[in-house]
Amino acid sequence: MTAGAVVEEVGRDLARWLRPVAAAFASLAVLVAGAALWEYGRRAGTATPVDPHDVLFLAGIGHLGVQAALRSRTRRGRLRWRPALVLPGGTRPGLLARRSRWAWAIEVAAGGAVVGSGLVWGGSTIGAWEGRISSAVGVAALLVSAFAVFRSLRRPRFVAITSTGVTTEDEALPWERIASVLRDKKGVHLRLRDQVRYVTVGGHDYSISNEHLAHVIEYYLATPDRRIALDVNVPGPLGAVR
């Protein structure tokens, strides 16, 4: 068993139908909370304990700080081998990298603070033109946030490495289509042979580092004879995995 992979069995199908239900309830909760914050601001008016404009400014600074911290943190996550990955093309065994749950939660909290304080500000100043504009922007941001939460819970971001290729939540790339692998702070970029474009996988919100993920993809891209091992068990000694 390689030091860079962990065997993880797949839970049964209960989570498959629970996931869209949970995603719908979570997005509805976001909408209800946003409406409640706007209504609170409308009723409180200028009598809010703290100036919503100042809270919005501080929340914006905090959100930028969270983004910077997530990008600069040390990520020591490992790939996990699963015997039955549910992928767009069917069910296959392979290595899996998922988005970090705590990183996602922190981003949601930071973004929610920005949107929520903006809604309170819009509601408290709804009688003036700035309140109407900020309310409209806040409602639009609230809808986008609710949809983002629904999509993130309904179709979580992932990268799967199997004997047939690299698969994400949106696209399946056979090994034959991948020409080379590049990496930077934004993620791992897979250059395609048949199109003039890159497909970016990984990123700062994953628990596995871009370097680690790129090493594994490069390893299997360069050694086609080793890919079949992904179908039967955790790969043997893998020099590219730290």
Q: Cβ contacts of residue 151 below 8 Å, gap of 6+? A: 23
Quick check: is 218 in a domain? no
For residue 171, the one-letter residue type is E
The parent domain of residue 67 ranges over 19-80+100-154
> Tell me: the pLDDT tens digits for 160-215?
999 999 998 878 899 999 999 998 888 899 999 888 788 899 888 888 888 899 99
Quick check: is 66 in a domain? yes
Q: What is the pTM of this model?
A: 0.71
* The two structure tokens encoding residue 177: 């289509």
Please tell me what DSSP assigns to residue 9. P
pLDDT for 9 equals 40
Quick check: is 12 in a domain? no
Quick check: is 184 in a domain? no
* The two structure tokens encoding residue 66: 């969270």
Residue 28: HSE in the Cβ half-sphere, 13 Å Cα cutoff: 6
Torsion angle defined by CA atoms of residues 142, 146, 148 and 150, in that order, rounded to the nearest 10 degrees? 180
Instruction: Give the count of domains, the chain.
Output: 1
Quick check: is 196 in a domain? no
CB 109 within 8 A of CB 33: no
Comparing 153 with 144, which gets the higher pLDDT?
A: 144
Quick check: is 91 in a domain? no
Q: Per DSSP, what are the bridge partners of residue 85?
A: 92
pLDDT for 34 equals 92
